[in-house]
């Protein structure tokens, strides 16, 4: 099998022929029914070399997104003589890029193996999102912020979020994690209360950040060069008047039911009206943040768009990119919601993106946007 890259230096710039580095280390786990000899060899040799994996790689496909989406990458390997093998649970890292500028793309462990009759083998790896999407606990925490509650629960699975929440994240009186939902679903819900997103990055680190506070753009894509397709949408309003209702107010450890004023916050006007009820929210600041977060989510739905660009390992959920020279207008910064990286012999390396406009104004700017 030829090594990577598969194309020479004269390939057009939009079609990237990258160098791919794949490292799989044995965990001593189940071979998935492919026999113990491969496990023994992997254990003795410390796993197949990165060059061996790259030499037999036919294609890769990586799907990434915000919680509660589960990330995964499929590696299609030519099962010819000398092809490497791995077992369920083995840990892997995939890096990709120009020969002199390879960057981390994904880190995780093997969760599925497909042995095919056409002399090919598919390995599927996932990251911490898969672990948390399988995890269920029954536990409550008292007087914790959303960030601290997520950190507390995630630490039981050896994860700690790297947080960047610029808005309010006051203490909540009680947060309950129960087995009616997975931890990943609980985390997504809690992040949504603060208008934040949660995702795993290329190094399998858990990230928590405001939806509009993602920093400077990581790359600029220009129409006719490395921006291959752009489908920018404008849709009718997802939400008009938004009302967020909270639980009973607490004053001096007593719940005041008869004399309490309505515990709610409003955002926007018009139709369609949306109502959100979150009993664990009790302060006016909590409810104001919740209403603004719902308005922001509605705003995102109106311009969620699709792009196809030349491949870049820097592209993933939570990153901001800049678009330039669009013939129909639309230049500016866009927040990545989902990324789908693909590589094969025919098309080279490309990245499909789901994006929405990033104003950079945070939740406080939502009132002026809707």
Residue 74 has pLDDT above 90, yes or no: yes
Cβ contacts of 355 within 8 Å, gap of 6 or more: 304, 305, 306, 307, 321, 334, 335, 336, 337
pLDDT the model gives residue 31: 42
Chain centroid to Cα 308, Å, comes to 18
**Per-range mean pLDDT, top range of 38-42, 161-165, 237-241:** 237-241
The arithmetic mean of pLDDT across residues 210-214, rounded, is 59
Confidence of residue 35 (pLDDT cuts 50, 70, 90): very low
Residue 212 has pLDDT above 80, yes or no: no
Residues 12-25: tens digit of each pLDDT: 445 567 899 999 99
Query: Domain 132-210 has what CATH class?
Result: alpha beta
Ramachandran area for residue 58 (φ above 0: left; ψ -120 to 50: alpha; else beta): alpha
Residues 52-70: tens digit of each pLDDT: 899 999 999 999 999 999 9
pTM: 0.85
Confidence of residue 232 (pLDDT cuts 50, 70, 90): very high
In CATH, the number for domain 219-234+303-368 is 2.30.300.10
Confidence of residue 331 (pLDDT cuts 50, 70, 90): very high
Residue 10 has pLDDT above 60, yes or no: no
Least confident of 39-43, 208-212, 346-350: 39-43
On whether the CB atoms of residues 320 and 334 are closer than 8 A, the answer is yes
pLDDT the model gives residue 65: 97
The whole-angstrom separation of Cα 66 and Cα 357 is 16
On whether the CB atoms of residues 270 and 241 are closer than 8 A, the answer is yes
Burial track 164-181 (b if 16+ CB lie within 10 A, e otherwise):
ebebbbeebeebebeeee
Question: Can you name the residues that pair with 163 across neighbouring β-strands?
Answer: 208
- Main-chain dihedrals φ then ψ at residue 316, nearest 5 degrees: -165, 175
Confidence of residue 338 (pLDDT cuts 50, 70, 90): very high
The arithmetic mean of pLDDT across residues 300-315, rounded, is 94
- Main-chain dihedrals φ then ψ at residue 251, nearest 5 degrees: -140, 115
Residues of the chain with pLDDT > 70, as a percent, come to: 81
Residue 199 has pLDDT above 60, yes or no: yes
Of 253 and 91, which is predicted with more confidence?
A: 91
Least confident of 32-46, 140-154, 270-284: 32-46
Least confident of 111-115, 142-146, 308-312, 359-363: 359-363
Residue 112 has pLDDT above 90, yes or no: yes
The whole-angstrom separation of Cα 222 and Cα 153 is 42
Residue 256 has pLDDT above 90, yes or no: no
Residues 124-166: tens digit of each pLDDT: 999 999 999 999 999 999 999 999 999 999 999 999 999 888 7
Here the tokens at position 341 are 């990286």
Q: Which residue has the tokens 């946007």?
A: 369
The arithmetic mean of pLDDT across residues 28-53, rounded, is 48
Residue 368 has pLDDT above 70, yes or no: no
The whole-angstrom separation of Cα 174 and Cα 279 is 10
Least confident of 102-111, 254-263, 315-324: 254-263
On whether the CB atoms of residues 348 and 7 are closer than 8 A, the answer is yes
Residue 71 has pLDDT above 70, yes or no: yes
- Beta-strand pair 206-210/196-200: antiparallel
Q: CA nearest 278: which of 213, 369, 189, 196?
A: 189
Reduce the secondary structure of the chain to three states and give it as a string: CCCCCCCCCCCCCCCECCEEEEEEECCCCCCCCCCHHHHHHHHHHCCCCHHHHHHCEEEEEEEEECCCCCCEEEEEEECCCCCCCCCCCCEEEEEEEECCEEEEEEEEEEEEEEECCCCEEEEEEECHHHHHHHCCCCEEEEEECHHHHHHHHHHCCCCCCEEECCCCCCCEEEEEECCCCCHHHHHHHHHHHCCEEEEECCCCCEEEEECCCCCCCCEEEEECCCEEEEECCCCCCCCCCEEEECCCCEECCEECCCCCCCCEEEECCCCCCEEEECCCCCCHHHHHHHHHHHHHHHHHHHCCEEEEEECCCCCCCCCEEEEECCCCCCCEEEEEEEEEEEEECCCEEEEEEEEEECCCCCHHHHHHCC
Cβ contacts of 168 within 8 Å, gap of 6 or more: 194, 285, 286, 289
The arithmetic mean of pLDDT across residues 177-195, rounded, is 96
Peptide bond into 142 cis (omega under 30): no
pLDDT the model gives residue 280: 86
Confidence of residue 167 (pLDDT cuts 50, 70, 90): confident
Least confident of 41-45, 163-167, 288-292: 41-45
Q: CA nearest 317: which of 65, 103, 132?
A: 65
What rounded mean pLDDT belongs to the chain? 84
Least confident of 10-19, 109-118, 315-324, 337-346: 10-19
pLDDT the model gives residue 260: 54
């Amino acid at each position: 099998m030829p090594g990577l890259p598969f194309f020479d230096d004269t390939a057009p710039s939009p079609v990237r022929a990258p160098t791919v580095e794949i490292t799989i280390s044995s965990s001593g786990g189940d071979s998935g029914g492919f026999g113990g000899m491969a496990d023994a060899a992997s254990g003795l040799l410390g796993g197949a070399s990165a060059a061996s994996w790259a030499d037999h790689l036919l294609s890769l496909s990586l799907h990434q997104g915000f919680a509660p989406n589960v990330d995964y990458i499929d590696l299609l390997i030519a099962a010819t003589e000398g092809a490497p093998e791995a077992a369920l649970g083995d840990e892997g890292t995939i890096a990709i890029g120009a020969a002199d500028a390879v960057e981390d793309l994904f880190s995780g462990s093997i969760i599925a193996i497909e042995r095919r009759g056409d002399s090919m083998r598919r390995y599927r790896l996932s990251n911490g999102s898969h672990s948390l999407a399988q995890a269920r606990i029954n536990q409550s925490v008292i007087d914790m912020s959303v960030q601290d509650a997520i950190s507390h629960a995630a630490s039981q699975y050896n994860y700690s979020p790297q947080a960047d929440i610029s808005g309010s994240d006051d203490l909540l009186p009680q947060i309950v994690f129960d087995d009616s939902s997975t931890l990943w679903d609980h985390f997504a819900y809690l992040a949504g209360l603060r208008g934040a997103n949660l995702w795993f990055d290329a190094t399998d680190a858990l990230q928590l950040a405001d939806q509009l506070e993602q920093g400077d753009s990581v790359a600029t894509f220009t129409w006719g060069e490395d921006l291959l397709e752009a489908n920018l949408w404008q849709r009718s309003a997802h939400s008009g008047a938004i009302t967020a209702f909270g639980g009973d107010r607490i004053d001096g450890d007593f719940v005041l039911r008869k004399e309490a004023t309505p515990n709610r916050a409003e955002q926007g006007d018009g139709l369609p009206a949306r109502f959100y009820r979150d009993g664990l929210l009790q302060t006016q600041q909590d409810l104001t943040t919740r209403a603004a977060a719902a308005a922001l989510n509605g705003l995102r739905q109106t311009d969620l768009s699709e792009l196809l660009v030349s491949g870049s390992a820097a592209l993933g959920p939570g990153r901001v990119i800049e678009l330039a020279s669009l013939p129909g207008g639309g230049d500016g910064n866009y927040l990545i919601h989902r990324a789908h990286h693909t590589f094969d012999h025919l098309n080279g390396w490309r990245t499909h993106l789901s994006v929405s406009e990033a104003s950079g104004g945070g939740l406080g700017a939502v009132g002026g946007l809707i």
